[in-house]
A and B are shown apart, each in its own frame.
Chain A
């Protein structure tokens, strides 16, 4: 099984230095792209590879780039930003790539910057990733010293600056337009779209924001081609994917696997099955803001298309397991506490609705719920759903709630009827 992204990641060793990375083929893709391919050819290659954004939404990366204005007369500087904010609860995949092989990310960023004609690039890293910050700073210095960053890279016309920016903690920093505000030293509130960042992003200039894992795929696509990349997958969505499992399983962890392994394989094979005495009840397949899937979905392939068809979202691909001895109401309450806290407060339904949902769930969990509380929860899933709020935070928050109300409704009703939590 090929594992291009994690082949050179060894958790117990320091990440590869620039020389070590070059020795295993590192920066060959930059050479190939800058010396042999036009930016348009890189965009086409990535489009053809069917690489879909690993930040959660799954948009075709090459297509996203193709909206960036190109040519001599466009606004400059143009920007590329690596989204390394990773604050989605239950998600720990980018950390592995950031700590494990920072040069792979930098190489991916150079390729993306070349494709869109960016002049300046940023790694937007969350504050908590101290080890990653250390490795990235060192790797950027090495890349400058070796001439992969700076003026006239490899003797070409292409120049690129790169900086590390560490955030100061807020989930909204991960939303791409809010991230740009944070980079500009503002509160991380989302911006209205259109204009899309591709046209008017950082400081009003054309900007692409890509997830870390998305960027780490690029050197491999450039080296081996679009068909090879598609061939890594078992299904229609191309490539490998870093999947993760957390919760009451025997071996929680993250693994790079062919796109489209099933939920069952992840839980039973890679995570070693449930801990003794625990049964699988459900899972959020891709982080806190995805809909629950349950036992009947265990054989669903973990790819964007299949998980969407099953009624959820692939999200970040790192799964959180709900077991039979954990209360679903308490589980969803914990999630809504997070979302209520992290709401930026810009729009009323989200700012006022999420704390209300959190309170109602707490009272149900404590055995103080009333039958009408179910209606309150139901209507929030509608009024905080897509199209009613300014950004995707609130609709994301409603995904685990609406699916919990669907699959575990009896558990909610039992709390209300019995005036106590059956799990306590």
Chain B
């Protein structure tokens, strides 16, 4: 069930747009902000607030890369796999992360700390390779720095 806080935030988003449905991406963001991801049950509850069917809302939720329909860890690592980062050797960073965390793309560490995902160009191609952990952007990343970077996110 959605909390009263979530419901209030979603209702606020609905009040800002001319049609209820137009708030659906914002509503999904509200849920994800509180819970880290959007479960089937949350999706159903959110859809009913928006006057949409769950299927209709899911078609929007699954279209976008950053609405998570599966549980994620406490921190989400988004590793840029686009062209400039590829030229500058992001694959080494990827391999190191996968080995160190013992997970593949889309997986979460057993302690629930990290989820690793590939991401398209982060718009900082002059400082490649780049990655984001939650809201933090890391640029010119080297393998030597990775352990220190991960350490910041408990």
A residues bordering B, Cβ < 8 Å?
86-92, 94-95, 126-131, 163, 167-171, 182-188, 203, 244-248, 252-254, 284, 288, 318, 320-323, 326, 330-331, 334-335, 337-338, 341-342, 344
Please pick, from B65, B82, B86, B135, the residue contacting A169 in the complex, using a CB distance under 8 A: B65
Nearest Cβ distance between residue B118 and chain A, in whole angstroms?
A: 9
Q: Are A95 and B123 in contact, CB atoms less than 8 angstroms apart?
A: yes
Q: B22 contacts which chain A residues (CB < 8 A)?
A: 183-185, 203
Nearest Cβ distance between residue A364 and chain B, in whole angstroms?
A: 16
Q: Are B63 and A89 in contact, CB atoms less than 8 angstroms apart?
A: no
Q: Are A186 and B60 in contact, CB atoms less than 8 angstroms apart?
A: yes
Please pick, from A182, A323, A334, the residue contacting B83 in the complex, using a CB distance under 8 A: A334
Q: B78 contacts which chain A residues (CB < 8 A)?
A: 128
Known: A128-B132, A288-B83, A320-B84. A170 touches B123 (CB 8 A): no
Looking at chain B, what size class is its interface with the partner chain? 35 or more
Q: Are A128 and B82 in contact, CB atoms less than 8 angstroms apart?
A: no
Q: Are B123 and A331 in contact, CB atoms less than 8 angstroms apart?
A: no
Q: Are A86 and B123 in contact, CB atoms less than 8 angstroms apart?
A: yes
Q: Are B59 and A187 in contact, CB atoms less than 8 angstroms apart?
A: yes
* Interface-facing stretch out of B3-11, B23-31, B93-101, B105-113: B23-31
Nearest Cβ distance between residue B75 and chain A, in whole angstroms?
A: 15
Task: Say yes or no for B142: interface residue by CB 8 A criterion.
Answer: no
Whole-angstrom CA separation of A126 from B126 in the bound complex: 18
Most chain B C-beta atoms within 10 Å of own C-beta, residue among A254, A322, A334, A344: A334
Q: B88 contacts which chain A residues (CB < 8 A)?
A: 246-248
Nearest Cβ distance between residue A90 and chain B, in whole angstroms?
A: 5
Please pick, from B18, B66, B87, the residue contacting A203 in the complex, using a CB distance under 8 A: B18
Whole-angstrom CA separation of A334 from B125 in the bound complex: 15
Task: Say yes or no for B149: interface residue by CB 8 A criterion.
Answer: no
Q: Are A246 and B82 in contact, CB atoms less than 8 angstroms apart?
A: no
Q: B21 contacts which chain A residues (CB < 8 A)?
A: 184-186
Q: Are A248 and B87 in contact, CB atoms less than 8 angstroms apart?
A: yes
Nearest Cβ distance between residue A53 and chain B, in whole angstroms?
A: 19
Q: Are B60 and A169 in contact, CB atoms less than 8 angstroms apart?
A: no
Q: B25 contacts which chain A residues (CB < 8 A)?
A: 167-168, 182, 185
Please pick, from A187, A320, A331, the residue contacting B60 in the complex, using a CB distance under 8 A: A187
Known: A168-B65, A169-B66, A334-B86. A91 touches B59 (CB 8 A): no
Q: Are A246 and B84 in contact, CB atoms less than 8 angstroms apart?
A: yes
Whole-angstrom CA separation of A169 from B28 in the bound complex: 13
Q: A167 contacts which chain B residues (CB < 8 A)?
A: 25, 64
Known: A185-B17, A338-B83. A92 touches B120 (CB 8 A): no
- 18 A-B interface contacts by CB (under 8 A): A86-B123, A89-B120, A90-B121, A94-B123, A128-B122, A130-B135, A168-B66, A169-B120, A171-B120, A203-B19, A203-B22, A246-B125, A252-B127, A252-B128, A321-B87, A330-B86, A331-B83, A344-B63
